[in-house]
Amino acid sequence: MVYWIPPSLIFIIAAIIIPFLSLRAQKVFVLIVPAFGLINLFSMHEGAYWKLRFLGQDIVLANVDKVSFMFGLVFIILLFIGMIFANHIKEHWEHSAAFFYAGGTLGVVFAGDFLSLYCAWELMAVASVCLIWNSMKKSSRDVGMRFILVHLFGGLCLLAGFVIHYANTGSIEFGPIKEGGIAFNLILVSFLINAAVLPFNAWLPDAYPESTPTGSVYLSAFTTKSAVYVLLRAFPGTEILIWLGLAMAIYGIIFAVLENDIRRLQAYSVISQVGYMVAGIGIGTDIAINGVCAHAFSHIIYKSLLFMAVGVILQQTGTSKLTELSGLYKYMKPIFFLYMIGGLAISGFPLFNGFISKSMIITSAAESHVFSAWIILTFVSCGTFMYTGLKLPYFTFFGKDRGFKLKKIPINMIIAMGIGAFLCTLFGVYPKLLYNMLPNHVDYKPYTVSHVLGALQMLMFTGLAFVILRKKISIRATISIDTDWTYRKGTELFIWFVENPMFTFIGKAKNLFFENIPNFLKWVSQNPVSVVFITTHTLMLRFSHGEHKEEIEKQVEMEKRNYPRFNRFVPVRNLLVMICCFLLAYLLIYFLANKQQ
């Protein structure tokens, strides 16, 4: 007998209750619910539970194993930290949207069938766009509209793929999908969109910076990592994911290095780090799958810490532009040190959680002899340290004091960051806490001499290069042209084509088929016999000359002048000729049709 509740339902019900609570009750309620969610999670056992029969199929609301448990655990932890960080907010709509968002995400994680997966997938999209719109800016409304259109397109791909998959297999069970076919490709595209895989990545840096400082914490974790989870479930070992992941890793660091907005910088960093996970899924070995799970777990924690730090900076200064920030260290020392823990974790420094997870994926690439992936992912770590651990803190916290008049930072924000920093360090120092949750039994030791020295050498040389060249590094306001430029310009070209050449063509076709041809047929129908004579005599004019031509011209003019008056008396010979022509045409068509058979 099952005494626990499907995790998604806990947070969906809580989201409905939140708007009816007083402010004081709300502050306590949003912390109690994640704690209850954790207790409920630890009471779950492996297996498929909460099955419902619908149209002859099993709907499984809770498919529990090590992978779903691990992702569910970190998502609930993130929600708890995020609620502490946002506990000073008086508006209940953001908390409600965050709980719906978490409920949809957990629904995806524990879905055992495509139907419940699809419903949770769409709930996640709607709730996340509410967090973007909650900032109440015109730019956020526009970005949110683009965001929801992209994700609704992804949802339609998922629905179409699910229906075709069901038609082909007769099952809606969610699991590994056989490679090839329309269903495989549609479902893969849907998951790639949510994972921000190139060329479907532009929605992420476009949308995340437009959210509220607190809302971006949830956005940094739920959508992309739930997409990693479903890719891991459905497409392990799909080779194309290796190269897509490597492209993401490189693309993310290039744009992050060029970026002036610190929240967009962190958004591009998400793309780069998810690239590690996507590449690991493509490799598909036991150690690679372990690395993906571990890195997703670690990334959710340290990336939320980084987004909390930049959220505090935005809230205190009113700007997120590097060109407008500097000299904040003396005002925000705790924020700086907490941020640096996240920066060292994402860079893969030893003793932090990023090192124990990222190195596992890199090792899996080497063991699988995918040396291009091993080289690229190793150097991407250096780039990550360059923009997250050096560029952003240097130009934000040091340099000229711009005289910001800062308010007191709410203590709950610092506590939330402290919890995130503690977890980054705890799992980095005691990796077995994380490794014991991994799905596959692999004997992997991150703290070997070669691993530690190799990581330190790469990162220290990166730091040395930055120190030497820091005075030559300039920051300036920039506009990054992302992959969305192609389909935005393509859409403009398509609209121009529709409004100009195609519109002209449609107008002419309309005149031809709805005016000219009907008018001609109407004219012919008034006296078909005269039309035949006029046409025949007009053709004869081309081959006539002299007096005979003049005679025919007079006859044509007379026939046109008398048209459309019917001839009461038609010569018998003309009728016989016409009947013979019709019979000949019929016989010809009949002969050709029988010959083809």
Give tens-digit pLDDT for 483-507. 666 666 777 777 777 777 777 888 7
Contacting residues for 389 by C-beta, under 8 A, at least 6 apart: 340, 343, 344, 346, 347, 463
For residue 117, pLDDT over 80 is answered with yes
Q: How far apart are CA 28 and CA 95, in angstroms?
A: 12
- The reply to whether 231 falls in a domain is no
Q: Which helix (H) or strand (E) holds 53?
A: strand 47-54
| Closest to 356 (Cα-Cα) out of 340, 366, 345 | 345
More confident residue, 53 or 298: 298
pLDDT greater than 50 at residue 428: yes
Give the model's confidence band at 577: pLDDT under 50 very low, under 70 low, under 90 confident, else very high: low
Q: What percent of the chain has pLDDT over 70?
A: 89
SS3 172: coil
* % of the chain at pLDDT higher than 90: 28
Instruction: Supply the pLDDT for residue 442.
Output: 77
Are 152 and 194 contacting, i.e. CB atoms less than 8 angstroms apart?
A: no
Element (H, E) at 54: strand 47-54
pTM, to two decimals: 0.81
Same domain, 185 and 241: no
Helices 371-384, 240-258: inter-axial angle, 10-degree rounding: 20
HEC-encoded secondary structure of 73-100: HHHHHHHHHHHHHCCCCCCHHHHHHHHH
207 and 334 housed in the same domain: no
- Is 389 domain-assigned? yes
- Which has more pLDDT, 14 or 396? 14
| Average confidence (pLDDT) over 58-75 | 89
Highest mean pLDDT among 331-335, 477-481, 516-520: 331-335
Model confidence pLDDT, tens digit, residues 192-210: 999 989 888 888 888 888 8
Q: How far apart are CA 408 and CA 575, in angstroms?
A: 104
Task: Output the DSSP codes for 291-331.
Answer: HHHHHHHHHHHHHHHHHHHHHHHHHHHS--BGGG----TTT
Cα gap 378→354, rounded to integer Å: 13
Residue 230 domain flag: no
CA distance 12 to 253: 36
Instruction: Count how many Cα atoms sit within 13 Å of the Cα of residue 35 in the half-sphere of its side chain.
Output: 6
- Shared-domain flag, residues 457 and 349: yes
| Residues 451 and 326 reside in one and the same domain | yes
* 76 — pLDDT class (breaks 50, 70, 90): very high
Q: What angle do CA 583, 584, 586 make, to 5 degrees?
A: 65
Question: Is the distance from CB of 66 to CB of 85 less than 8 angstroms?
Answer: no
Q: Do 137 and 216 belong to one domain? A: yes
Domain range for 586 is 572-597
Q: Mean per-residue pLDDT for 582-592?
A: 77
Query: Cα–Cα distance between 174 and 194 in angstroms, integer?
Result: 17
Q: What is the pLDDT of residue 58?
A: 78
Report how far apart, in Å, the C-alpha atoms of 74 and of each of 40, 109, 178, 295, 301 are.
14, 11, 29, 11, 8
- The predicted structure's pLDDT at residue 417: 93
The rounded mean pLDDT for the chain is 84
To which residue do tokens 């699809």 refer? 118
Question: Which of these three, 196, 225, 254, is where a domain ends?
Answer: 225
Do 400 and 495 reside in the same domain of the chain? Answer: no
Q: Are residues 462 and 404 in the same domain?
A: yes
- 394's CB contacts (< 8 A; 6+ apart) are 466, 470
Is residue 555 pLDDT above 90, yes or no?
A: no
Residue 547 confidence (pLDDT): 66
Separation CA 408–CA 248 (nearest Å): 38
How does residue 572 score in pLDDT terms, banded at 50, 70 and 90?
low
Higher pLDDT, 107 or 213: 107
Could you give the number of structural domains in the chain? 5
Is the model's pLDDT at 303 over the cut of 80?
A: yes
* Residues 383, 283 share a domain: yes
pLDDT in tens, 241-291: 999 999 999 998 888 888 888 888 888 889 999 999 999 999 988 899 999
What single string gives the DSSP state of each residue in 387-400?
A: IIIIIHHHHHHSSS
Within 10 angstroms of residue 289's Cβ, the number of other Cβ atoms is 24
Task: Determine the pLDDT at residue 418.
Answer: 93
Of 455, 480, 505, the residue that ends a domain is 480
What pLDDT score was predicted for residue 61? 84
- Shared domain check, 457 and 533: no
Do 196 and 271 contact (CB within 8 A), yes or no? Answer: yes
Q: Residues 289, 330: one domain?
A: yes
Which DSSP string do the residues of 511-536 spell out, in sequence order? Answer: HIIIIIHHHHHHHHHH-HHHHHHHHH
Q: Are residues 516 and 497 in the same domain?
A: yes
Same domain as 221, residue 157: yes
- Which of 105-114, 126-135, 469-478 has the weakest average pLDDT? 469-478
